[in-house]
Structure 1
Amino acid sequence: MGDNDLYAVADFCLIPIGTANTSVAEEIAECQRILAQSGLKYKVPGYGTNIEGPWSKVSQAIHDCHAAVHGKGAQRIATDIRIGTRIDRDIPTGEGNGLKVKRVEEILQKDEA
């Protein structure tokens, strides 16, 4: 990661428009192939995809997903993207989403005590 490249934790939901099928499984599978090649940590929790790494690589991976899904015939794509960065502490590579989830779980465990 370059000195000016922020570590980004992102969630995006790619929505193909104008396909002949109401299912988006084929298009999402194509995007997952792209993400697997990117070397970035990602997870598909159901709706949307979590991805993290250097901002430039995260942005490039989302771009590459768009290009691949267009390549499968989608004439239009709408994508919702949320990206978070922080500079107040170091985030171990690949742990951004996991650390957020862990912190929430710790808070909820206090409720059970």
Structure 2
Amino acid sequence: MSDIDISTLSTPAKATADFCLIPIGTPTASVSAQIADVQRLMKKSGLKYSMHSAGTTVEGSWDEVTRVIGQAHALLHGNGVVRIQSDIRIGSRIDKSQTMEDKVSAVEKLLASDE
């Protein structure tokens, strides 16, 4: 491991991230306006994404996914949010191509066999 040249080590070509930005210190307990801003950013990014009740799932290259999450932080900071905490879970896979829908579908098929 010590002989690895990190300057030549690339990031994964495909990644799926699930993230939740948590604005801290907003005037009200509601953060729906900030979430809407992030969703507008996601739409403009051109990446495949899906909002859910506790965050957003986004697909792309590792660099694209992490960049758009960083841009979401910068956007909210630019809109006056002083502090943001994020929960981020990122997965990559090289043995096969698998979308977020594929992952859900695999579990739904197993559940359908229960009936």
TM-score, normalised via structure 1 length: 0.89
Matched, 1:17 2:24: yes
Count residues in correspondence. 106
2:112 is the alignment partner of 1:109: yes
1:74 to 77, 81, 94: 81
Cα distance change of structure 1 residues 74 and 4 upon mapping to structure 2, 3 Å threshold: closer
Bigger radius of gyration: 2
Return the offset for 1:4. 5.1
Is the 2:17–2:89 contact (alpha carbons within 8 Å) kept by the matching residues of 1? yes
Alignment correspondent of 2:67: 60
The list of structure 1 runs, each at least 4 consecutive aligned residues, that deviate by more than 4 angstroms after superposition, is none
The correspondence for 2:49, drawn from 42, 45, 61, is 42
Q: Normalising to structure 2: TM-score of the pair?
A: 0.87
- RMSD of the alignment, in Å? 1.2
Deviations 1:42-89 (A, max 9, x none): 111111111111110011100110000111111100000001111111
Q: Deviations over 1:5-61 (max 9, x none)?
A: 421111000000011111001111111111111100111111111111111001110
Aligned equivalents of 1:7, 1:55: Cα separation in 2: 6
Gaps spanning 5+ residues in structure 1: where? none
Q: Aligned in 2, Cα 1:11/1:64: closer, same or farther, shift over 3 Å?
A: same
